[in-house]
Structure 1
Amino acid sequence: MQCECYSRVKNLIEGKIREQMPEGSRGLEFDLPSIRIGFTDKGLATMPVVDIKGEYQAPKKAGGFRKVKIDTYIASTYCPFCGVKCKSDEPAAAEKTASATSA
């Protein structure tokens, strides 16, 4: 991402949760929407992703119902916190990074 919102927001949320935790608590773990890497014509792009999981009951033709799982996501092309566009890394920059890590 082109901004620091993910880290900033995660730290703010962690601080608020820790304020409410009783003294002696430990092992705080929580999830925010994922940040994923996508391949584009212009290079790699990181974008915030909200995973959507669930299920519903669909009718069967012969009667009764069957369970259908939902497992999808919504990917954003803009930061949901500050509105900065999630840009692709420039191919030249990606090549420099790749060559630096292989050396």
Structure 2
Amino acid sequence: MQCECQSRLNEKILQAVKANLPKGSLEPKAELVNYAFIMNGNSMDTRVFLEFSGEVMVPKRGGGLKKQKIKQKITTAYCPFCGTPAENKDKE
């Protein structure tokens, strides 16, 4: 991602978690998940991804149907928080 939303939001999330912890709590950690490293030519980018799941009935070899789970990830082309394009078009 070209923006600073991930680090900025991670800090805000951590502060919100700290505010709700009881006194004496030590070393709280909290961060956004669903960020992936994407190889783009000779460079690596960070992208937000959405995960979806579902089910489908597929034919069995011996006849009949069986339920099969579907689980996929989709990367975003833009930051969902600020709208900045995910890919840096100015890279060499």
Corresponding letter in the other structure for 2:38: G
Residues 57 and 48 (structure 1), Cα distance of their counterparts in 2 relative to 1, 3 Å cut: closer
For the 8 Å contact 1:33–1:50, the answer to whether it is kept is no
Corresponding letter in the other structure for 2:4: E
Alignment partner, residue 76 of structure 1: 76
TM-score (ref. length: structure 2): 0.66
Gaps of 5+ in 2: none
For the 8 Å contact 1:2–1:84, the answer to whether it is kept is yes
Q: CA RMSD in A?
A: 3.0
Count of aligned residue pairs for this structure pair? 87
For the 8 Å contact 2:17–2:30, the answer to whether it is kept is no
Distance 2:51 2:31 in 1: 11
TM-score (ref. length: structure 1): 0.60
Distance 1:42 1:80 in 2: 25
Corresponding letter in the other structure for 1:14: L
More helix by share: 1
Corresponding letter in the other structure for 2:5: C
Distance 1:11 1:2 in 2: 18
% identity of equivalent residues: 28
Distance 1:26 1:51 in 2: 32
For the 8 Å contact 1:35–1:48, the answer to whether it is kept is yes
Residues 15 and 44 (structure 1), Cα distance of their counterparts in 2 relative to 1, 3 Å cut: same
Alignment partner, residue 99 of structure 1: none
Give runs of ≥4 in structure 1 deviating > 6 Å. none
By how many angstroms is 1:43 displaced? 4.6
1:33-44 superposed matches below 5 A: 33-40=33-40, 43-44=43-44
